[in-house]
Structure formats: structure tokens, C-alpha cells
Amino acid sequence: MRNLAALVRRELGVYFVSPMAYIILTGLILVFGLMFWTEMGAASDFAMPFSFDRLLATLAAILVFVAPLITMRLIAEEKNRGTIETLMTAPVTDGQVVVAKFAAALLFLMYLLLPTVAHAFLAAKYGTVDAPATATGYLGLILMCSAVFSIGLFISSLCSSQVTAGVVTFVVSFLLILSSLIADRVPADTWYGRPARAVLERIDPFKYLEDFLRGIIDTRPVIYLLSVTVFFIFLTVRVLESRRWR
Amino acid sequence: MIEVRNITKVFPGAVAVRDVSFAVASGEIVGFLGPNGAGKSTLMRILTGYIPPTTGSATVAGFDVLRHSLEVRRRVGYLPENNPLYPEMRVEEYLEFRATLWGVPRKQRAAAVGEAVQKCGLGPVRHRIVGHISKGYRQRLGLADAIVHDPQIIILDEPTIGLDPNQVRQVRDLIRELGRQRTVILSTHILSEVEKMCGRVLIIHGGRLVADGSPSEIVNRLTATGRVRLEIRGTANGVQEQLKQVPGIAHVTERCEGDVHTYLIEAGHGRDVRPELFRRAARSSWEVLELSLERVTLEDAFAELTEGERGAKPAPAGQPSEVRT
């Protein structure tokens, strides 16, 4: 447990001593602030109700872009620098290392989300915000990101270059959020059409986000996102272990 | 303390270690000596539980490196080749992090870090960022990392690489001091280092253990044919003939500079021909300037053990001799 805490602390520390954390944070505040501003403006111009959950949906899209930047270094960097050897010859298990890296990425995400929460309070001051829906919306965002992060972590464990890991993660997560669009184009009347559609429609993480944004916590998206996370964390541990079978 | 039984490590396309067995007792300082790519680092990685052997087994401090890897790692301090460090951390912060991973209790951590910093002479850079300190300091930080948790066994892969002569001497003293209570294995391809630090040398070449013993033992074993140097001034008539009559002399080469004749005499197995040479010289009243046994150094021994098969016979097909370490 002490090991895990030390590993998480180090991983988090790396984010904050590199310029990356501040660039991501600044970028996110800037983009989200602009979105907030235009959304607010549109709502007042047309005297429409302001909806914070639409902003959260946009935030989800931004986070899919940001995720590779957060996860790409996790294991690829250790491999590239050779520090994986000092790390894995310390008395820590492969599982501890992987879980610590994942936890650090998720904690960093929560830190990134903090300023956006401030916007919710701001919106609530001048209008109405559906507080429970916003809360479940954030829960959905975190669950979606944990699924995407675990995929990024897994890809990082396969690469020895951060850039490769980042690009591959970006492509994979982009394909995931496009999957329901692709599903619509798959001809339904062929032998592969129905199963392919069934799969593609169900792997889109955005689709699962909709319920959360409406304030509904359904067990299916929770289970889907959590099982994706656990599955890829498990695969990452196996990749690290694989040096022992080769 | 360490027992290695018939370890072989095969990488795709290369055999890094072939059937190596040895044992290291508690308190020994053992040097792995061998040219680059001999398999030293691979062997060390196996002992630290980083990679498993393909066949064979090893126990460290009584624990199998495969089945009880964590127990082994708890007792070993390891400085890997190329000394990988986290450049973004500060020196003390790094050592504290490493001490925590090894389960040094919170209250003793600062003391443990302080001791490692002091032992390795890191005082002047203790608050600096690892990426900003010089190579010499970085190497010593790697060493401090290997000893901060006070391990029973210390494994150092090329500990003095990249250091200037003064720093090399400091590190050597440190290793000797550590070796008083602990078991130390270090690797190097610098021979004088091994002679100065290690009580025992394992010479590794092409993945095989080619010699095992104290530096002087290895030298002696290899110098079965002692070479004697004889220098005579003046007329050299009949010297060659006389020398040939001495029993045990295999070969004589003559060199002369002015009126000084130098004979390099190769004698047979473990035979000291000097007394006989002296008697003959005295009888024939040669003007002897020098009569000495040439000292064979570990360097010669190393060359003899590791160069003998190089070039002369190519590695058998399918077993490239250049391997990753």
C-alpha cells in the first residue's frame, strides 16, 4: 500500500514538473471558457434555457483529444529511458506499477476538471443548473475517461516511443467515438451486417455518456466502462509480465 | 548467498549466456569480467529478477529468482547498465522515493537517504534536479540508489563508467567498504579495477564462464609457461647452444641492441629455469645484466582467455557470438 502511494505520488509529480500539465490545463480552461461564453451568449440572445450538460458533452469530446497526451508517457517513457529496469527490480509488483500509473492519470484528470466545475457554479448563479444531472455528468466523464485512459495505458505499454503511443491512442479513441457513425453505414442486410452493427453501436463511449448527462445512472454503461477499464489494465499488467516469458 | 545453476539465456537469434554455474559466499566481492557483449549484464538482470533464465535456476539469499522474485528484490541493491534515472526528480527526492519502494520506514527514511548521500559524496547536489547534475554525480546517485535501503547483496553493472580517475578511486573505496559486511557483485571490462577491488573474478566470454578464481589464481593457472628474460652484455657466443641444453626450455628468441643481447626464454610447464640459467651463466662467466621472470598480469590472462577464439574460428552457424547484454 505504501508502495502504491509512493508510485502514485511520483507519477503525479511528473505531470506537474513538466510543462505538459500546464499547457493542457491552460488549453482546456481557454477552450472550455470560450465554449461557456458562446453557449451563455446564445442562450441569452435567443432567451433560451441555458444547458450545462451540452457543455459537458463538448468537454467529453475535448477530453478524447487530451487523453493521449496524458497517457502516452506512462510506460513508453520508462521504457525509452530504461528506468523500467530500476522500477521493475524494486520490490513492487507489475500490478502495483500499472494501477499506480492509471490512478495518477485519473487523479490528474480530476484536477483538470476542477476549473470546469467552477463554471457550473457560475452558471448556477445567473441561471438554473440541474445539479444532480451535472453531478452524474461528471461521473460519466470520469468513467469514460477511465476507459479511454486504460486503453492509452495499454498502448503505452506496447510502445517504446511516447509519440507512437500518443498517435496510436488518438487514432483508437477517435475510432471508438466514431463507431456509432460507422455502424450506420454498415449494410444491415448482409451476413456480417447485423453483428457488426450490434458491436459498433455498443462500443461508442459517447453513447453511454448521454444517459449520465440526463442525470440517469444506468447499470449498463457503468458496467461497460468499468469492464473496459479493468480489461485493459489487466492486459497492461500482462504486457509488463511478458518480459518474464520471453 | 548467491547460487547459479546451469543458467542459459537465449534471446531471439542470440545466446547471451550458456550454461553458467557458480556460487558466491556471503561477504565476497566478486567481479564479472568480460568484453562488451559477453553476457555480464544479462547474468545480472537474471540475478535481480528482471528477466528469467531460459533454463537453469538461481537463488539469491536463499530465494529462487523466479518464484520468489519480490523476496530477492527486497534484498538486492542494483545499479543497471547505463544507470537509468528520472531526470525530472531532485536527488534527495529520488532517493526518498526509492527508499519508500523498499519499505524503509518513514522515520528512518531521512537518515537512510542522508547516509547514502554522504557515502556517495552527493552532498553538493542533494537539492539539485537529476537531469541537471554531471555524469559523475549521476553515476554516484545510481550507486546511492543501490545502497539506500541497506541491502545484503549489491549488484553493480559497470559502477565506475563515466567517472574521472579521482571519482573512480572514491567509488572503489566505497565498494571495498560496502564489501566488508555485504556481498557485492560488479561487472567491468577494466582489469585494474577488478584486481584492486575484487577477491574473486569470474571471466565471462561469449556467454560462457571461462575462469573463476582470485585474480592471482587466474594469473597463475594461465602462466603454466613462465617466460624468463635474460640480458647479457658482451660476446654472445654459444649462449644459444647452452640455453638449448637447459632442460625444460621450449623456445628462445634473441634480440640484440649494440652489445646487449636479450633472450626471451619460454619454459615448459610451471618450471622455474632461473637457477639453472644462473649456474650456466656463472660457469661461462656471462656478464648478466638481468635475469627475471616476466610477470603475467590479469590483463594477459584476460587476453589469452577471451581472444584465443576470436577471429581464429568463427562462431558456429546459428550461434552469433555478438550478443545483447
Provide, as residue numbers in chain A, all residues whose Cβ is less than 8 Å from the Cβ of B50.
85, 88-89, 243
Judged by CB atoms closer than 8 Å, whether chains meet at A244 and B51 is answered as yes
Assembly ipTM: 0.88
Q: Could you write out the three-class secondary structure of A97-144?
A: HHHHHHHHHHHHHHHHHHHHHHHHHHHHHHCCCCHHHHHHHHHHHHHH
The secondary element (H helix, E strand) that includes residue B233 is strand B225-233
Angle subtended by helix axes B135-147 and B165-178, to nearest 10: 0
For residue B199, CA distances in Å to A122, B40, B147, B196, B293 come to 73, 18, 20, 9, 25
Among the partner-chain residues B73, B76, B84, the one whose CB lies closest to the CB of A81 is B84
| B175-B180-B182-B186 Cα dihedral, nearest 10 degrees | 30
Torsion sign over Cα B90, B70, B64, B28: positive
- Write the CB contacts of A75 (distance below 8 Å, at least 6 apart in sequence): A84, A101, A153, A156, A157, A165, A236, A240
Residue type, B225: T
Grid cell listed for A118: 467552477
* Amino acid B320: pLDDT: 39
* Amino acid A227: pLDDT: 95
Comparing alpha-carbon positions, the chain A residue that sits nearest to B145 is A86
A64 CB-contact burial (10 Å; exposed 0-12 / middle 13-18 / buried 19+): buried
* Amino acid B324: pLDDT: 42
β-pair partners for B2: B24, B60
What's the farthest any 2 CA atoms get from each other in chain A? 65
Q: What is the DSSP letter of B315?
A: P
Judged by CB atoms closer than 8 Å, whether chains meet at B145 and A82 is answered as no
* Amino acid B312: pLDDT: 36
Give the separation between CA A188 and CA A191, rounded to whole angstroms: 8
Among the partner-chain residues A89, A92, A93, the one whose CB lies closest to the CB of B50 is A89
Give the separation between CA A102 and CA B59, rounded to whole angstroms: 33
The predicted model scores a pTM of 0.83
* Amino acid A246: pLDDT: 64
Contact of B81 with B37, CB cutoff 8 Å: no
| B302-B305-B309-B311 Cα dihedral, nearest 10 degrees | 10
Among the partner-chain residues A2, A17, A83, the one whose CB lies closest to the CB of B85 is A83
Q: Looking at CA atoms only, how far is residue A95 from chain B in angstroms?
A: 13
Provide, as residue numbers in chain A, all residues whose Cβ is less than 8 Å from the Cβ of B157.
none
Comparing alpha-carbon positions, the chain B residue that sits nearest to A93 is B70
> Which residues in B have their CB inside 8 Å of a CB on A?
45, 48-52, 66, 70, 73-74, 76, 78, 80, 82, 84-89, 97-98, 100-103, 145
- State pLDDT tens for residues B18-75: 999 999 998 889 999 888 888 899 999 999 989 999 999 999 999 999 899 999 999 9
Judged by CB atoms closer than 8 Å, whether chains meet at A14 and B88 is answered as yes
Predicted confidence band at B316 (pLDDT cuts at 50, 70, 90)?
very low
Q: Under DSSP, is residue B201 helix (H, G, I), strand (E, B) or coil?
A: strand
Judged by CB atoms closer than 8 Å, whether chains meet at A13 and B89 is answered as yes
Tell how strand B153-157 and strand B183-188 pair up.
parallel
Q: Kindly give the confidence (pLDDT) of every residue in chain A, 246 residues in length, as a single tens digit, with 9 standing for 90 and above.
A: 778 999 999 999 999 988 888 999 999 999 999 999 888 888 888 877 777 888 898 899 999 989 999 999 999 999 999 999 999 999 999 999 999 999 999 999 999 999 999 988 888 887 778 888 899 999 999 999 999 999 999 999 999 899 999 999 999 999 998 888 888 888 878 888 888 888 888 888 888 888 898 888 989 899 999 999 999 999 999 999 988 776
Among the partner-chain residues B86, B87, B101, the one whose CB lies closest to the CB of A90 is B101
Q: Looking at CA atoms only, how far is residue A7 from chain B in angstroms?
A: 8
- State pLDDT tens for residues B236-271: 667 777 777 777 777 788 888 878 888 888 776 667
